[in-house]
């Protein structure tokens, strides 16, 4: 362990010098991955067991390859997802929006709620919903064939680890602009983490070089895809259905106004991520949702 601790300390210095945000945590995660133990079990690695492949993987991280590409894994809510070249690495901020959708679905008085995840990538959002809302049916829409392969793989392994998700998540190929025509007016929740970075913005090397371009760039103001999603959500949702859309920290006001009352939305709200930054907008589709039946209590409630 002494040797491994020394190597981890040296790797931490190298990663910090390369501009990595969390050098110690990344060095420990790489050490754990290479030695086939959990991060909390690194003490168990004896000096004689030190695996020099540690330094190959540290060099990859030093070149700013994402940690998740090195380990091949990303964690999202209760899921362990496979990720790598060709798919967007799911982010912690998206867990908060997904949690909002999960709570809303759990509160909904609908036997088998229908959900559309527009731009599913690794299927992180779709699978988290299927795992945590066992009655939900989730349509995971994705245009990129490489990303769809990762999504398919994750859906298959989740069906083994959480059998109640089997058959509940369907991948729908193609552009979300025309997605799911047969479900128009029948969807309970539309959720999306779309590309929203304004073209020309500076992003870290992990993002620029490893996340697929189609997952990142959203036109001049970053909101091209959000505007499309607003129209798609309006078409897909039943009256009273809910939409949640992620955005960049400076886009909260602009996205709020995209889900405007004049377009048929009500109860539009801004939400923050765990770091307190504006991160997603939710809204409800107005329309002729059935009025609650007061029955016997009607007089009491109206006088
Ligand atoms: C920011 S990533 C989000 C992936 C995943 N939902 C997540 O949160 O980790 C956006 C995803 O949307 C997909 N995408 C972008 N434009 C699309 C479009 N017009 N139709 C369908 N998918 C699209 C990209 O390929 C990418 O996988």
Closest CA to 11 of 36, 42, 46: 42
Say what the pLDDT of residue 294 is. 46
pLDDT bin (cut points 50, 70, 90) of residue 245 is very high
Give the Å distance between the CA of 212 and the centre of ligand 1. Answer: 9
pLDDT digits (tens, 9 = 90+) for 153-211: 999 999 999 999 999 999 999 999 999 999 999 999 999 999 999 999 999 999 999 99
Rounded to the nearest whole angstrom, what is the distance from the C-alpha of residue 91 to the centroid of ligand 1? 13
Report whether pLDDT(292) > 60.
Answer: no
pLDDT in tens, 224-234: 999 999 999 99
Residue nearest to atom 9 of ligand 1 (CA): 90
Q: 189, 113, 127, 202: which is closest to 157 by C-alpha?
A: 127
pLDDT of residue 142: 98
207 φ/ψ sector (left φ>0, alpha ψ -120 to 50, else beta):
alpha
Look at residue 3 in the predicted model and tell me its pLDDT. Answer: 85
Among the listed ranges 44-48, 52-56, 94-98, 253-257, which one has the minimum average pLDDT value?
44-48
Q: What is the pLDDT of residues 93-145, one digit of tens each?
A: 999 999 999 999 999 999 999 999 999 999 999 999 999 999 999 999 999 99
Q: Which of 119, 139, 216 to mutate to test the pocket of ligand 1 (most atoms within 8 A of CB)?
A: 119
Q: Atom 19, ligand 1: which residue's CA is nearest?
A: 175
Locate the ligand 1 atom nearest the alpha carbon of residue 94 and give its number: 8
pLDDT at 229: 98
Give the pLDDT confidence score for residue 45 in this predicted structure: 85
* Cα 196 to ligand 1 centroid, rounded to whole Å: 10
Exposed, middle or buried by CB within 10 Å (0-12, 13-18, 19+), for 160? exposed
Distance 300 CA to ligand 1 centre (A): 50
Residue 287 pLDDT? 83
- If you measure from the C-alpha of residue 235 to the centroid of ligand 1, how many angstroms do you get, rounded to a whole number? 19
Share of residues in the chain with pLDDT > 70 (%): 94
| Ligand 1 proximal residues by C-beta, below 6 Å | 88, 90, 94, 119-122, 124-125, 141-144, 147, 175-177, 193-195, 212, 214-215, 225
- pLDDT for 303: 26
Q: Which long-range contacts (CB under 8 A, 24 or more apart) does 108-114 make?
A: 108/188, 110/188, 111/135, 112/136, 112/137, 113/137, 113/188, 113/189, 114/139, 114/183, 114/186, 114/187, 114/188, 114/189
Check whether 300 has a pLDDT greater than 50: no
**CB of 139 closer than 8 Å to CB of 148:** no
* Distance (Å, whole) CA 238 – CA 110: 12
Whole-structure pTM over 0.85, yes or no?
yes
Residue nearest to atom 14 of ligand 1 (CA): 119
> What are the structure tokens assigned to 265, written together?
């939305």
Cα(147) to centroid(ligand 1), Å: 9
Instruction: Report CA(289)–ligand 1 centroid distance (Å).
Output: 30
Q: What is the pLDDT of residue 206?
A: 96
Atom 24 of ligand 1, residue of closest alpha carbon: 215
Distance 11 CA to ligand 1 centre (A): 34
Residue nearest to atom 23 of ligand 1 (CA): 119
- Nearest atom of ligand 1 to the alpha carbon of 216: 1
Looking at residue 175, its pLDDT comes to 98
276 CB-near residues (< 8 Å, 6+ apart): none
> What atom in ligand 1 is closest to the CA of residue 228?
19
């Amino acid at each position: 362990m002494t040797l491994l601790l020394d190597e981890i300390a040296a790797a931490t210095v190298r990663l910090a010098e390369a501009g990595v945000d969390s050098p110690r945590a990344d060095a420990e995660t790489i050490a754990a991955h290479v030695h086939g133990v959990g991060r909390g079990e690194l003490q168990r690695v004896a000096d004689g067991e030190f695996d020099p492949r540690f330094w190959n993987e540290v060099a990859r991280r030093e070149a700013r390859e994402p940690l998740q590409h090195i380990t091949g894994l990303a964690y999202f809510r209760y899921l362990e997802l496979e990720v790598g070249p060709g798919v967007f690495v799911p982010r912690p901020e998206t867990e908060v929006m997904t949690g909002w959708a999960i709570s809303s679905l759990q509160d909904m008085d609908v036997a088998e709620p229908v959900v559309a995840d527009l731009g599913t990538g690794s299927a992180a959002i779709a699978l988290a919903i299927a795992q945590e809302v066992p009655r939900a049916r989730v349509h995971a829409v994705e245009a990129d064939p490489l990303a769809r392969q990762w999504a398919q793989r994750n859906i298959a392994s989740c069906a083994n680890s959480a059998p109640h998700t089997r058959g509940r998540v369907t991948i729908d190929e193609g552009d979300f602009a025309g997605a799911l025509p047969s479900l128009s007016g029948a969807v309970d929740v539309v959720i999306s983490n779309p590309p929203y970075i304004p073209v020309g913005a500076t992003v870290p090397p992990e993002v620029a070089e490893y996340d697929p371009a189609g997952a990142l760039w959203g036109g001049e103001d970053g909101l091209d895809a959000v505007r499309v999603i607003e129209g798609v959500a309006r078409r897909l949702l039943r009256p009273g259905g809910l939409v949640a859309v992620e955005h960049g920290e400076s886009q909260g006001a602009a996205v709020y106004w995209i889900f405007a009352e004049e377009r048929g939305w009500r109860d539009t709200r801004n939400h923050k991520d765990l770091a307190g930054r504006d991160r997603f907008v939710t809204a409800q589709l107005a329309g002729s949702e059935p009025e609650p039946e007061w029955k016997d209590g009607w007089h009491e409630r109206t006088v």
